[in-house]
């Protein structure tokens, strides 16, 4: 008899086990626990907090975690723990794996009530060239609100690293090696708008997602679950954008978003991936930066308005001359925004800021309701930007010798690439590699490895005075003209300067660059140099031109040269371009001349 009981128990637990085994491989369960396939081992969860797993082996074992979760809800009274997992509960209930009710959870309920969800929007903010951590832009979620009023009363849910005080280098090292923990935070959307639009002057793009009411509830529930956890933060891989994809995958596993980004998740790429999923997007909305709003308003002004406006913001001369009431209102509202901009940029003392603001407010209050200027409502959609990865093939002539080249890079954009939907004047290149075959010598060589290259050319005008800069670290194959030895030179160079817009499409710029180079085949192995550079950058949409001249004064004769570069690029379509480059270096009578035609595709 005891043996029969024993056997029945075994059989029952075996069938329960078989059942959990099947459900444990359900795509939504795997996504809820953030299991990701690994290269050479079993699946592993991205989440690193122990409190996220109910089973001691839960991080690696979906079945054990499922059994432990069922046990929690069915067999225990640990309500504090149950309250941490409302999404798991919903899923288990839907699958019929549990029957007990979900307990009363004050914190979770007040979270839900405060947010008062009505929908989900994915936000993309464009690049912020003043911070290396923001060069690729940023994404975060907005939980739209059902509150009366506007979506300013919605909440943003942001995944980021908890860093504490760090200097830039440590920040970079920790950020890249998983030294920081990342987690979710929420805050009102009006704060996010202030930070991005008004303080950092970055555009926000709002992608409204098409979720059912059940999916919306599930998003909230799962946000609550992972909101309690921490994960190792990796700047390129498990970053702000990637974690949002895992969150959306948990809501709708068919999206399969996270698996599209196993190596690096560039915010705009993830934004495009979400937009590409069928029936997942309802619409897109643009929220321009304060700076873009000011520029748009200024461009609409008539010449009398422009004069008055300049006189106010430059000379604090509040003489409106004979502008009509609506023209005056247009000037005042623009000037008011500019005063706010100046204060944030620390170009205006508090006392002056208050005085000028209040003067404008009082004057505006004496006028009618409307002004004569339209607000900016449309921008260049980043979804239409070229893809981030690029590869190209080219043919050229180097000092009379023909060569063929193949090149590529994983990210992100060059000055000569189509700028639509990105920042025109911003270049961010990572791991750009070029290899060549030279005909005469019949050799195949690594020509250039651009580890990183960042250039920012933004014109100074009477309102805005951005600093233009460039910074590059690269390995180049070069020849010492004196000995005709060839070898590799590792060079770091860059500098700061300014740019000026000659027309809307053409900018002239100047840099003072520093050069540091190292190469084993060079005399003294290394050199340092300083080089003033001037150039022209033209962006006409379908084609771009970049031409520059730099005189480098260096400690080594090898690096002491006059450099001329010119490039022009034509789009064949959104993701295909033809580029022609010309380069001429004069190195104490040893000239180096090169012409290359390159066919590029973006993917």
Partner 1 sequence: MIVSLRNSYLKRRKTLKKSLLTVAAVLAAGMFSANAHAVDSTGCGLGSLAWRGQKGPIPQLLAVTTNGTFGNQTFGISSGTSGCDPHGRITGGTGSMALAFLENNMEQFAMDASAGHGETIDTLAGILNVDSEKLGEISKTNFATLFPSDNVDAVDVTVNLLALI
Q: Which of residues 420 and 490 has its CB atom nearest to partner 1 in the complex?
A: 490
| Shortest Å distance, C-beta 377 to partner 1 | 13
Structure tokens that stand for 193 in this block: 């708008």
Q: Which of residues 158 and 600 has its CB atom nearest to partner 1 in the complex?
A: 158
| Shortest Å distance, C-beta 351 to partner 1 | 9
| Shortest Å distance, C-beta 317 to partner 1 | 19
Q: Which of residues 310 and 355 has its CB atom nearest to partner 1 in the complex?
A: 355
| Shortest Å distance, C-beta 336 to partner 1 | 5
In 3D space, the residue among 125, 126, 136, 124 whose CA is nearest the CA of residue 454 turns out to be 136
Q: Please say whether the beta carbons of 94 and 109 come within 8 A.
A: no
| Shortest Å distance, C-beta 360 to partner 1 | 8
Q: Which of residues 145 and 468 has its CB atom nearest to partner 1 in the complex?
A: 145
Q: Please say whether the beta carbons of 485 and 523 come within 8 A.
A: no
Structure tokens that stand for 133 in this block: 């951590």
- State the CB neighbour count (10 A cutoff) for residue 222: 24
In 3D space, the residue among 46, 90, 45 whose CA is nearest the CA of residue 69 turns out to be 90
| Shortest Å distance, C-beta 493 to partner 1 | 11
Q: Which of residues 451 and 506 has its CB atom nearest to partner 1 in the complex?
A: 451
Peptide bond just before 412 cis, omega within 30 deg: yes
Q: Which of residues 18 and 350 has its CB atom nearest to partner 1 in the complex?
A: 350
Q: Please say whether the beta carbons of 26 and 249 come within 8 A.
A: no
Q: Which of residues 210 and 292 has its CB atom nearest to partner 1 in the complex?
A: 292
Cα 123 versus chain centre, distance: 11
Q: Which of residues 163 and 208 has its CB atom nearest to partner 1 in the complex?
A: 163
Q: How far apart are the first and last CA of the chain?
A: 69
**3-class SS of residue 45:** strand
Residue 75 CA: distances (Å) to CA of 5, 9, 16, 17, 467 = 22, 18, 15, 16, 64
In 3D space, the residue among 289, 123, 117 whose CA is nearest the CA of residue 206 turns out to be 123
Q: What are phi and psi of 119, to 5 degrees?
A: 175, 175
| Shortest Å distance, C-beta 135 to partner 1 | 8
Q: Please say whether the beta carbons of 501 and 515 come within 8 A.
A: no
User: For residue 570, what are the contacts with CB-CB under 8 A and spacing of at least 6?
Assistant: 542, 543, 577, 578, 579
Q: Which of residues 168 and 520 has its CB atom nearest to partner 1 in the complex?
A: 168
| Shortest Å distance, C-beta 319 to partner 1 | 20
| Shortest Å distance, C-beta 147 to partner 1 | 6
**3-class SS of residue 224:** helix
Burial status of residue 515 (CB atoms within 10 A of its CB: 0-12, 13-18, 19 or more): buried
């Amino acid at each position: 008899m005891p043996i029969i009981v024993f056997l029945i128990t075994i059989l029952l637990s075996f069938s329960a086990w078989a059942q959990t085994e099947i459900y444990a491989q359900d795509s939504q369960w795997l996504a809820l626990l953030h299991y990701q396939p690994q290269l050479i081992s079993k699946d592993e969860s991205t989440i690193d907090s122990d409190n996220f797993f109910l089973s001691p082996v839960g991080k690696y074992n979906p079945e054990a975690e499922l059994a432990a979760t069922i046990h929690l809800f069915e067999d225990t009274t640990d309500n504090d723990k149950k309250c941490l997992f409302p999404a798991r509960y919903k899923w288990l209930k839907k699958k019929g794996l549990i029957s007990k009710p979900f307990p009363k959870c004050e914190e979770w309920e007040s979270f839900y009530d405060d947010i008062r969800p009505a929908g989900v929007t994915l936000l993309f903010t464009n690049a912020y060239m003043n911070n290396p951590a923001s060069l690729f832009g940023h994404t975060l979620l907005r939980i739209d609100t059902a509150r009366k009023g506007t979506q300013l009363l919605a909440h943003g849910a942001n995944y980021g690293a908890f860093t504490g005080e760090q200097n830039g280098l440590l920040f970079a090292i920790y950020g890249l090696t998983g030294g920081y923990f990342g987690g979710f935070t929420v805050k009102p959307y009006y704060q996010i708008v202030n930070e991005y639009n008004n303080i950092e002057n970055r555009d926000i793009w709002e992608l409204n997602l098409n979720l059912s009411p059940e999916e919306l509830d599930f998003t909230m529930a799962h946000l609550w679950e992972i909101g309690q956890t921490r994960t190792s933060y990796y700047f390129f891989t498990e970053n702000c954008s990637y974690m949002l994809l895992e969150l959306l995958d948990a809501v709708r596993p068919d999206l399969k978003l996270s698996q599209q980004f196993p190596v690096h998740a560039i915010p705009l790429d993830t934004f495009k991936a979400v937009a590409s999923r069928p029936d997942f997007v309802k619409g897109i909305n643009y929220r321009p930066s304060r700076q873009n709003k000011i520029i748009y308003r200024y461009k609409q002004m008539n010449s009398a308005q422009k004069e008055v406006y300049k006189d106010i913001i430059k000379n604090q001369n509040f003489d409106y001359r004979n502008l009509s009431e609506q023209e005056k209102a247009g000037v005042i509202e623009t000037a008011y925004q500019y005063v706010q901009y100046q204060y944030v940029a620390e170009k205006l003392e508090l006392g002056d800021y208050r005085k000028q603001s209040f003067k404008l407010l009082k004057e505006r209050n004496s006028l009618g309701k409307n002004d004569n200027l339209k607000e900016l409502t449309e921008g260049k959609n980043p979804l239409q930007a070229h893809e981030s990865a690029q590869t190209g093939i080219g043919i050229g002539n180097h000092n009379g010798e023909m060569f063929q080249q193949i090149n590529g890079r994983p990210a992100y954009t060059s000055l000569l690439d189509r700028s639509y939907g990105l920042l025109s004047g911003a270049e961010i290149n990572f791991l750009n590699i070029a290899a060549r075959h030279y005909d005469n010598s019949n050799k195949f060589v690594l020509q250039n490895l651009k580890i990183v290259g960042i250039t920012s050319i933004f014109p100074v005008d009477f309102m805005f005075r951005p600093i233009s800069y460039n910074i590059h670290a690269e390995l180049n194959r070069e020849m010492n003209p004196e000995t005709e030895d060839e070898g590799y030179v590792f060079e770091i160079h860059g500098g700061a300067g300014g740019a000026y817009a000659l027309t809307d499409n053409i900018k002239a710029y100047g840099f003072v660059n520093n050069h540091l180079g190292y190469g084993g085949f060079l005399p003294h192995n290394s050199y340092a140099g300083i080089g003033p550079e001037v150039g022209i950058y033209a962006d006409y949409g379908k084609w771009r031109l970049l031409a520059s001249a730099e005189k480098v004064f260096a400690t080594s004769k090898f690096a002491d040269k006059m450099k001329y570069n010119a490039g022009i690029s034509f789009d064949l379509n959104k993701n295909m371009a033809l580029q022609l480059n010309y380069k001429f270096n004069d190195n104490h009578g040893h000239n180096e001349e090169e012409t290359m035609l390159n066919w590029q595709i973006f993917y």
